[in-house]
Amino acid sequence: MARKVIPEGVRKAYAARYGKGWEEKFHLDAGVSAHEARARFGEWLAEIEIRIASLKAAKAKGPQPLTRQQAYALAGQWYSWFLSRHERDLKTPGHWRALADIFVWEVIGSNAPDEYEEHPEDDPDWDWQFSPEVKEEIRPAIALEAETAAFLMEQNLSLTPDAAELFIDAVSGNLLPALQRLEALARGDFSPDKHADVFPKLEQVSAVVPVKALELFNAWRNAMQPAEGTIYRWATVFKEADRRFVDVRRISYDEAKAWMTGLVNEERSAGTVAGAWRTALKTVFTWGVKERLIDSNPFPEVHISVPRKNVEREGKAFDRAEIKTILSAALLCPDIDAYSERARRWVPWICAYSGARAGEITQLRAADIQQRDGFWFARLTPSAGKIKTRKARTIPLHEHLIEQGFIEFVHKASGSPLFYEPKGRTTQRDDNQPRQNQAERMRSQVGMWVRSLGVSDPEISPNHAWRHTFKTIAARVGIDERYSDAITGHVPATTGRKYTTPTPEDLAEALKKFPRYRLD
């Protein structure tokens, strides 16, 4: 655990951008090795310090003063920004009319002096609203309703206290016309907006900073906290986009199409661009539009033609010969010597009887193997390592695994990881590849070992094919798909199925139908 205090001088700006106003905290589970913990801490600290340094650099420019005319000119930019911001998700006319009524009668009208209440005919234009006392009273409500903080942040603009008051006062006089314009647009009235002509021209106040692709990606990363592997794979995409686009606020469809088509080359297939790259771009840009950091997302519409491949296999499951080859070889591996031998002995068999992801099995610890109501289970949890769904699940262990001596093997492990050295040396970090922990490296080693046995068909995965094999056999013997989905960790197909989640005991009863693998 660690904490980093945010310097007082940038706390407000840090809180506005990153949501933490006092300090950032770092935490890792106790199972992480000291070496990896230090590496992750260093990355975390570097990112926080870069954020602070960037905010200090922006602050070094100093808050800007404004003349009264400049304040109204800046309010003109706000007026256009506010309309554009809400035109993308236009509410009903009644919504904007209600906001206008609240603004007039509750924000401003509630501050009317006593003499106006008694004699409203003496001031029909509400000139009392321009008094210093009323302005001071209504500024917080105006700033909130008009979203001035978001506007100034997008403009990368800092104002002195006096300039901020001038600006909010200028916005106050134009918030009602903005709401009325949105009401008109919601009714379908697109006649020219004459109010936009009342503002003076703004000169040398606002500086709109371009949004770079990597900046957008990092903002998405901080908000969504994706898996580390996703971060490393997608970072490559956005580094390439950074080289192509100066500002991603407004990328046209034609620009996106031309760029993505040009990405296809001898080293990068059309399938990779159409699948992995387009998915990354589409996801992050969709988030950026929803957060109103960018104006549009052209990537969902971009189509990349992918040549069809010849498929020789009938499916993605192992055939009988491949099953016999792998499981027979696994039986010959000792489980008391090297961790690699342990993994070869048990991981294929556990995957064969559960359809679990190989990485979920290689990260098992002895404490994850538990007995309940006469059944043995394996707990697959995010605390042990990476789980694709980030949700723990409990899977039953097939009786054939128990007969083979798996529980005795677990007892010998004495609470330690079953298939990897807990204090093993981590590999050197490669910025272009996801960092693999010991369990993931062991998963890869098992895959290479399966290939060395002669299971070399490139159309089949040496580890992942067990998931297809398990689901195929489970369906063949009549195991309810809800149960096979729960065992393999597949998301329920319908919302209704989420309400009928099987218990681990239900899964254990269902797994009794799963036949033993016969190798003779």
Question: Which position has the higher pLDDT, 108 or 197?
Answer: 197
pLDDT of residue 398: 96
Q: Is the dihedral of CA 322, 328, 331, 337 positive or negative?
A: negative
Report the alpha-carbon distance of residue 154 to residue 249 in Å, rounded: 11
8 Å CB contact between 475 and 484: yes
Per-residue pLDDT band at 207 (split at 50, 70, 90): very low
Q: What is the average pLDDT value for the chain, to the nearest integer? A: 84
Question: Per mean pLDDT, which range of 20-24, 182-186, 211-215, 314-318 is the poorest?
Answer: 20-24
Q: Tokens in use for 432?
A: 């272009």
**Which pLDDT does position 11 carry in this prediction?**
80
Span of 63-67, 118-122, 262-266, 423-427 with lowest mean pLDDT: 423-427
Which whole number is the average pLDDT over 76-87? 90
pLDDT of residue 141: 86
How far apart are the two ends of the chain, measured CA to CA in Å? 54
Lowest mean pLDDT among 118-122, 376-380, 387-391, 434-438: 118-122
pLDDT exceeds cutoff 80 at 216: yes
Arithmetic mean of pLDDT, 6-14: 80
Q: How far apart are CA 234 and CA 253, in angstroms?
A: 21
- Exposure class string for 248-264: b at 16+ Cβ within 10 A, else e: bbebeeeebbebbeebb
What is the structure's pLDDT at 493?
73
- Look at residue 415 in the predicted model and tell me its pLDDT: 72
Q: Give residue 161's identity as a one-letter amino acid code.
A: P
**According to DSSP H, which parts of 24-157 are helical?**
34-60, 68-87, 93-101, 114-118, 132-146, 148-154
Grade residue 23 by pLDDT with cuts at 50, 70 and 90.
Answer: confident
- Res 278: pLDDT: 93
CA torsion 279-281-286-289 (nearest 10°) is: 180
The string of pLDDT tens digits covering residues 487-517 is 999 887 776 777 778 999 999 999 999 999 9
As to burial, measured by CB atoms within 10 angstroms (0-12 exposed, 13-18 middle, 19+ buried), residue 184 is middle
Exposed / middle / buried, residue 514 (Cβ in 10 Å: 0-12, 13-18, 19+)? buried
Place 114 in a pLDDT band, splitting at 50, 70 and 90.
low
What are 490's two structure tokens? Answer: 């597949």
Rg (CA), the chain: 31
Which range (147-156, 295-304, 324-333, 364-373) has the least confidence? 147-156
